[in-house]
């Protein structure tokens, strides 16, 4: 059964689905993306780093063709590695992302992110030069919205200090009850930047937490659904990954209940700072 996913407004004027599918380390991105779209997913998240952009786009194209769905109903996100290339290098990486998408039959990117704030001296200037390349591509029309990933508050502030033409529409970060990063939430909220949450299931490592099990019992939901609901009720946009077709629908079946603000808070361990992947938010 296909479900209808709420939309959220980006500062670029476009809408983004409130939950998506991540395809990092997916064994067969084309198939899982196609199956996910059939089950109601409308947002897919990939990256240069994942090596599966064309396969992801083939999954989208197949779905659009077979179902007669309009391209604008599906939201395609990818990322270029980092900002070290400044203006020239970033322009090349972005063009390569478009070329990969075209290989899979997709001719524009809904959202292009800089995967990490890694830069080179002079760090801020290099990051802003990289960003300028992306703003020009937005003006060219092949990329609709631009954003960042793994940016700490220090990196985010640079956009507002420099008064760039387009601000990042979202920041994709790891933020779990065991690594909340409230400073990033606060900055993003006050600057109209959506926090998109990666590794929302903590890679399967937190399903047995007593607080999670208690809520699962109360709401008659699985631990995975409780973690995804925590993300939504924290104000984030989660992108859980699964390679398992049978888990696609359950991971979307989270719109018939809410955690209370107290439950969202109670699940958080503010003394913990566990990263399941990497931590570029603290880079220079």
Ligand X SMILES: NC(=O)c1ccc[n+]([C@@H]2O[C@H](COP(=O)([O-])OP(=O)(O)OC[C@H]3O[C@@H](n4cnc5c(N)ncnc54)[C@H](OP(=O)(O)O)[C@@H]3O)[C@@H](O)[C@H]2O)c1
Q: What is the CA radius of gyration of the chain?
A: 18
Kindly tell me which of 136 and 154 has the beta carbon lying closer to ligand X. Answer: 154
Per CB under 6 A, which of residues 131..190 are in contact with ligand X?
A: 149-150, 172
Choosing from 94, 106, 202, 232, the residue that interacts with ligand X (CB under 6 A) is 202
Size of the site for ligand X (CB under 6 A): 26
Cis bond before residue 255 (omega within 30° of 0): no
Residue with smaller CB distance to ligand X, 88 or 256:
256
Nearer CB in complex with ligand X: 67/83 = 83
* Structural tokens at position 56: 């992801």
Is residue 281 within the footprint of ligand X (CB under 6 A)? no
CB of 262 to ligand X, least distance (A): 24
Q: Is 23 in the site for ligand X (CB under 6 A)?
A: yes
Rounded CA gap, 204 and 271, in Å?
Answer: 21
Q: Which is nearer to ligand X, 27 or 141 (CB)?
A: 27
Positions in 27-66 near ligand X (CB under 6 A): 45
Minimum Å distance from CB 235 to ligand X?
17
Is 200 a binding residue for ligand X by CB under 6 A? The answer is: yes
For the annotated catalytic residues, the residue numbers are 50
Question: Which token pair is 61?
Answer: 């194209």
Q: Does the annotation place 115 within a ligand binding site?
A: yes
Query: Which residue's CB comes closest to ligand X?
Result: 22
Which of 5, 16, 19, 22 forms a contact with ligand X (CB under 6 A)?
22
Rounded distance between C-alpha atoms, residue 55 and residue 23, angstroms = 10
Q: Closest separation between CB of residue 83 and ligand X, Å?
A: 14
For residues 223 and 250, the answer to whether their CB atoms sit within 8 Å is no
Backbone angles phi, psi at 146, to 5 degrees: -130, 150
User: Which residues in the 214-243 window bind ligand X by CB under 6 A?
Assistant: 224, 239-243
Cα separation of 37 and 280, whole Å?
31
* SS3 assignment, position 91: helix
Q: Are strands 7-9 and 15-17 parallel, antiparallel or unpaired?
A: antiparallel
Contact set for ligand X, span 107-136 (CB under 6 A): 115
Minimum Å gap between C-beta 5 and ligand X is: 17
| From candidates 65, 103, 165, 203, binder to ligand X by CB under 6 A | 203
DSSP label at 4?
A: P
Residue 89 or residue 238: which is nearer to ligand X going by CB? 238
Q: Say how many residues make up the chain.
A: 284
CB count within 10 Å of CB 243 equals 14
What does the alpha-carbon distance between residue 173 and residue 116 come to, in Å, rounded to a whole number? 10
Alpha helices by DSSP H, listed for the chain, are 29-38, 53-67, 86-103, 123-140, 153-162, 182-190, 210-219, 223-233, 245-252, 261-267
Q: Output 163 or 208, the one with its CB closest to ligand X.
A: 208
What is the binding site for ligand X (CB under 6 A)?
Answer: 22-24, 45, 115, 149-150, 172, 198-204, 224, 239-244, 247, 250-251, 277
- Residue numbering of the annotated binding site for substrate: 115
């Amino acid at each position: 059964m296909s479900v209808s996913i709420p939309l959220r407004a980006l500062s670029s004027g476009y809408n983004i689905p409130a939950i998506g599918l991540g395809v990092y380390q997916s064994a067969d991105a084309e198939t899982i993306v196609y199956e996910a779209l059939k089950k109601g997913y409308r947002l897919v998240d990939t990256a240069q780093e994942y090596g599966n952009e064309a396969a992801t786009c083939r999954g989208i194209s197949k779905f659009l063709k077979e179902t007669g769905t309009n391209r604008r109903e599906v939201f395609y996100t990818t990322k270029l590695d980092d900002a070290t290339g400044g203006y020239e290098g970033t322009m090349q990486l972005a063009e390569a992302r478009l070329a990969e998408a075209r290989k899979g039959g997709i001719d524009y990117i809904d959202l292009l992110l800089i995967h990490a704030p890694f830069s080179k001296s002079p760090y801020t200037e290099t990051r802003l030069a990289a960003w300028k390349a992306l703003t020009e591509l937005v003006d060219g029309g092949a990329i609709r919205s631009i954003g960042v990933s793994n940016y700490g508050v220090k990196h985010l502030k640079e956009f507002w200090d420099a008064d760039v033409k387009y601000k990042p529409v979202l920041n994709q970060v790891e933020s779990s009850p065991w690594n909340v990063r409230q400073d990033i939430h606060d900055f993003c909220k006050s600057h109209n930047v959506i926090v998109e949450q990666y590794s929302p299931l903590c890679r399967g490592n937190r399903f047995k937490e007593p607080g999670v099990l208690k809520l699962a019992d109360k709401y008659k939901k699985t631990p995975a659904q409780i973690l995804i609901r925590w993300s939504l009720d924290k104000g984030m946009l989660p992108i859980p990954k699964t390679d398992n077709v049978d888990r696609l629908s359950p991971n979307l079946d989270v719109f018939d209940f809410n955690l209370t603000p107290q439950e969202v808070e109670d699940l958080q361990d503010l003394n913990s700072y566990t990263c399941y992947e990497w931590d570029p938010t603290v880079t220079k």
